[in-house]
Amino acid sequence: MLAINLYALHHAGSCIVSESQVTTFTNKQLSADEQRVKCLVTDLLAGSLSAYLLPVYTLKEGDPLIDYFALPAIKLTLDWIRMKPDVLLDSAFTTRLQIWPSLCKLLNGVQLSLADFMADTYKYVPLPEDQDLQGFIPLEKALGKLR
């Protein structure tokens, strides 16, 4: 579902100029329908991220958050946000204030589980969700350094 939404958002804001070059349009260059699609899909992505993070509060104290079922979708969403940080200024994200405390709770909980993890050793190793989306254009820059 995340990949479909990211593709829809990418497609709404891009057009292929040549086979190897993709040009991104600004909102002024998008048609009214394309702007609407961009707004709706961004809202859906922000709502999805909020929905993935909300159950973090329902987990029992002591449950390892490293096993949380939505971590792959959250990780990929954060990869996309890291590539396009301006999206955080969109009303879809600014009106969902519960995202940030939930994300903090999740990251703090996961950090406890990863205390002995040697991140440098696995810095460029793809996770299964990264392998599934290898070559996916909207996340290509985020996943490009993985081996």
pLDDT of residue 95: 95
Residue stretches of the chain with pLDDT short of 70: 13-28, 61-63
pLDDT of residue 18: 30
pTM: predicted TM-score of the whole model, two decimal places: 0.82
pLDDT of residue 123: 86
Residues whose CB is less than 8 angstroms from the CB of residue 44 and which lie 6 or more positions away in sequence, other chains included: 5
pLDDT of residue 14: 58
pLDDT of residue 13: 66
| Per-residue exposure over 7-33, b if at least 16 CB sit within 10 Å of its own CB, e if not | ebbbbbbeeeeeeeeeeeeeeeebeee
Of 139, 121, 146, 134, give the one whose Cα is nearest residue 9.
Answer: 139
